[in-house]
Amino acid sequence: MSSRAARGRKRKDKESRRVIDKFTLKTWYKVMAPEMFGGEQIAETPSSDPEYVVGRTLKSTLMDLTGDYKKMHVKITFKVQKVKGDNAVTDFNGHEYTRDYLRSMIRRRRTRIDGIFNVTTKDGARLRCSIIALTPFRCKSSHERGIREVMYDVITKRAERMPFDKHIMDLVTGKMATEIYKRAKKVHPIQNVDVWKSRVLNLPTMVLEPEAPKPAPAKEAPKEEAPVEKPAEVKT
């Protein structure tokens, strides 16, 4: 065998052993936010099979979703539930405040009151919520128990009356914390209250029918007055 033929054979062997980059064979899927957060694209993820996309989680900030710079410390976790075409549809999986923000809240000579509660929404979703309350000065243990009871009462009762989507928006936007603050300050002076973490245990199991608008009360037709008979004239 000539040297030229040997070199050609070696070249063919190297080409046959060349590794194919599997990353180039993957398809990019658009990760879509839930409808409660606008339903727009928030990221992209590659995968060779759409089944591998289901179950993936990703994080974003509430500032990126709403444009509110005051909410840059709120991190939201989404989880892919299904794939439609090249869109990966997600559901809310939890939220959490950044550690830097939590450290900035805590000061010396204050009392930190923590509460962790499991709640169930009106449509059957189950969540675990973590609440923190800070007082401007130290308080007694009886006050701590009273404030923790207020936390439990507010978050459980409001969750029972709300569907999953509305309950989540109350948690991440601070409406739930504001309601707890209004009631807890009657027990002891409060510096601030925050629902700083949540995690979805079970997604909604029931489909709620939209409430039908109440019919407007029918207006009663004005009653017609009976004609008044004039007394007959008497001739003298």
Tell me the pLDDT tens digit for each residue of 143-178: 999 999 999 999 999 999 999 999 999 999 999 999
User: What pLDDT, on the 0 to 100 scale, is given for residue 168?
Assistant: 95
Across 54-67, average pLDDT: 92
Higher confidence at residue 233 or residue 134? Answer: 134
Domain boundaries, the chain: 22-95, 99-202
Across 78-86, average pLDDT: 93
Query: What whole-number percentage of the chain has pLDDT above 70?
Result: 78
What CATH architecture applies to the domain 99-202? 2-Layer Sandwich (3.30)
Query: What whole-number percentage of the chain has pLDDT above 90?
Result: 66
158: nearest Cα among 183, 133, 186 = 183
Strand partners, 235: none
The SS3 call for residue 229 is coil
DSSP conformation letters of 164-193: HHHHHHHHHHTHHHHHHHHHHTTTS--SEE
Across 11-26, average pLDDT: 63
Directed axis angle between helix 175-184 and helix 164-173, to 10°?
Answer: 70
Quick one: how many helices (H) and strands (E) in the chain?
6, 8
Token code pair at residue 76:
């939201």
> Above 70 in pLDDT, residue 15?
no
Confidence category of residue 19, pLDDT binned at 50, 70, 90: low
User: What pLDDT, on the 0 to 100 scale, is given for residue 207?
Assistant: 77
| Stated pTM of the model | 0.76
193, burial (CB in 10 Å: exposed 0-12, middle 13-18, buried 19+): buried
